[in-house]
Amino acid sequence: MVGYHVHWSGPVNRRHYTAWEILLQILSAKMWAHSFGPIKLICDKKTADFYKEIGILGIYDDYELFDESILKGIDPTIYFAAGKLLAQLQVEDEVCAFIDTDLLIVGDYDFDSSNVTVFHREFPDVSVYPNLWDHWEMEIPHDGDTYPLNCALVIWPQKELRRNYASIALKFMRNNTYYGGYKPNVLMVTAEQRLLGLYLKHMGIIPEYYIKDIYLSSPEEMETSWGRDGMGSNIQNLNKEFFHLWGHKKYLLENPMAAAEYTLHLYNMFEKYPELDVESILQKINSL
């Protein structure tokens, strides 16, 4: 099964990439390719040029540039992950997987390619997913009880199904900028994770969950170890099935010593991939 990484620069002309961010992305691609099949990249030209410069574009079997004209009318400062939705509209594969660049799928897993698979369910917490239906233009029925679906991993069994969802999400992003007294990111997670749950419900589809039942009824019911610093985000305690950096990024950006230790743990994982010149990649990143 072909997997896709997606990277859209959005409004950023040039940003600083950390070593741990790039190392994690390479590992994500290599682990997918080892266990499941080809791994491709969809990105904008700025990203492709940067990846060429540091020598990592070649880790992908192929790459494709966005048709960014489709994102016209979408505010990238609010919808910072709009590229992920555009990619799902643009890709031609019938069956494919979209995986976050900070997600490692460790080992083999028997994916059901006949059904939609998502990473896991999210609890519909109104502080994250507010019910601002009176202010939002919606194309499908909505409610406050349907679980949003975490999109760190989404496997699509059918192109038409995927493209219909992406079209609905892109239309939502063009037509909605109201977020009340909440943080603007409530719109992004609504356009992606919440709309996916609503769309599949509308289509009568019950998805598979890669991680089963993290949230059964409330965040308080999830295991303490998962809630401490993000799901699996401690690389030293790598989960047997996956590793997802998740919200731990902010902690690493604010704590240089922790970031250095984290980078070392990632570096050591490259012993499995001696064909990669990791030293050269790190030198290029640090020189920019």
189: domain CATH number is: 3.90.550
User: Please, what's the largest Cα pairwise distance for the chain?
Assistant: 56
**Tens of each residue's pLDDT in the chain, 288 residues:** 999 999 998 766 556 789 999 999 999 999 999 999 999 999 999 999 999 999 999 999 999 999 989 999 999 999 999 999 999 999 999 999 999 999 998 877 888 899 999 999 988 889 999 999 999 999 999 999 999 999 999 999 999 999 999 999 999 999 999 999 999 999 999 999 999 999 999 999 999 998 876 554 444 444 444 344 443 445 555 555 668 887 778 888 888 888 888 898 889 999 989 999 999 999 998 887
Report how far apart the first and last C-alpha atoms of the chain are (Å, whole number): 35
| Residues forming a β-bridge with 43 | 7, 65
What is the number of domains present in the chain? 1
**20 vs 281: CA distance, rounded Å:** 12
Range of the domain at 71: 2-287
**54 vs 284: CA distance, rounded Å:** 5
**25 vs 38: CA distance, rounded Å:** 15
Structure tokens at 208: 């598979």
Strand 96-99 versus strand 149-156 pairing type:
antiparallel
Q: Which bin fits 269, alpha (ψ -120 to 50), beta or left (φ > 0)?
A: alpha
**16 vs 286: CA distance, rounded Å:** 10
Structure tokens at 222: 């999830």
